[in-house]
Amino acid sequence: MTTYSVTIRLDDASLAALKGHQLQVFKGVKASAPDKGVSTVWATVSELNHLITLTWQPNYQGFFHAGPLHEEQQATPDLSDVLTLGDTFALATRQKTVRLQDGVADAYTLRNQTGRPMWAGVMAEARAYQTPLGASPFCVFPQRNNERLVLEPYEKIVLVFSQQPRELGTVVRQCTARSVSLHFFSSVTHISVDYSHRRGWDTLGNPVAKRNPMNLLLASELIVPSFTRGSTPGDLESALVLH
């Protein structure tokens, strides 16, 4: 299985200037209804060093979250399970999940069959300095009853040093600090970047890395169309709308 990795280099002055900051990582996904999705904090690093390393493998889990979910709140999985390409992970009741072999090839399908609105999403585990951070959500979508959500792997991440510490799975709409996007492929599995507290992110000339403007909308950057047939358009009940 492919291992993806990131190396972030900080000089002495930048490391001192970032005291009290937290590195936050947001991850991408392809979705059948990308306009409905929101990004969540996928990984964090609070102990910053001159050389920060992050690694992960594409081992994904589907999850369901019950109840309302607002910005700066945590998406906390009520039920989760390992995802298999081509299968459907369905929530039949609040306590029971089923796996169906009626999904979309090369994609993950999640279906809400509880009779009530839910949130559905995907999570994965990253490692910081080779220490596992635990599986954490990186995207979440509202789902009506019996609605199908189709998701595909999309190895793109956004990095930001934030003065506001956040828990894993916290919903974040906008990245107000300087950030950088890194796009991985089968032929590009490692990317190195530098960060300066004066100049911001340095992509080191890497064509699959880009500096982002301030106030980046994370979902627009990271949740992109999958061109698969999935959920139908429309607004959900107000209890599921982010405010």
pLDDT of residue 232: 35
How many residues are there in the chain? 243
Confidence of residue 89 (pLDDT cuts 50, 70, 90): confident
pLDDT of residue 213: 94
Provide the residue ranges of all domains of the chain, joining segments of one domain with +. 4-231
- When pLDDT is averaged across residues 212-226 and rounded to a whole number, the result is 96
Confidence of residue 240 (pLDDT cuts 50, 70, 90): very low
Give the burial string for 120-144 (b: 16+ CB within 10 Å, else e).
Answer: bbbbbbbbbeeeebebbbbbbbbbb
β-partners of residue 79 are 64
pLDDT of residue 86: 86
pLDDT above 80 (res 234) = no
Greatest distance between any 2 Cα atoms in the chain: 55
- When pLDDT is averaged across residues 165-182 and rounded to a whole number, the result is 97
Measure the CA–CA gap between 201 and 178, rounded to whole angstroms.
7
84 or 103, which is more confident? 84
- Are 122 and 60 within 8 A, CB to CB? yes
pLDDT of residue 71: 95
Measure the CA–CA gap between 20 and 15, rounded to whole angstroms.
10
Which helix (H) or strand (E) element contains residue 16? helix 12-17
Distances (CA, A) of 125 to 40, 57, 111, 114, 157: 13, 8, 22, 27, 14
* pTM strictly above 0.85: yes
The CA-based angle 54-56-60, given to 5 degrees, is 145
How many other CB atoms sit within 10 Å of the CB of residue 79?
A: 17
State the DSSP code for 171.
B
- Are 27 and 57 within 8 A, CB to CB? no
For the chain, the C-alpha Rg in angstroms (whole number) is: 18
- Are 143 and 237 within 8 A, CB to CB? no
Neighbouring C-alpha atoms within 13 Å toward the C-beta of 150: 16
pLDDT of residue 243: 27
pLDDT digits (tens, 9 = 90+) for 120-133: 999 999 999 989 99
pLDDT digits (tens, 9 = 90+) for 26-51: 999 999 989 999 999 999 999 999 99
pLDDT of residue 58: 92
pLDDT of residue 236: 33
Confidence of residue 100 (pLDDT cuts 50, 70, 90): low
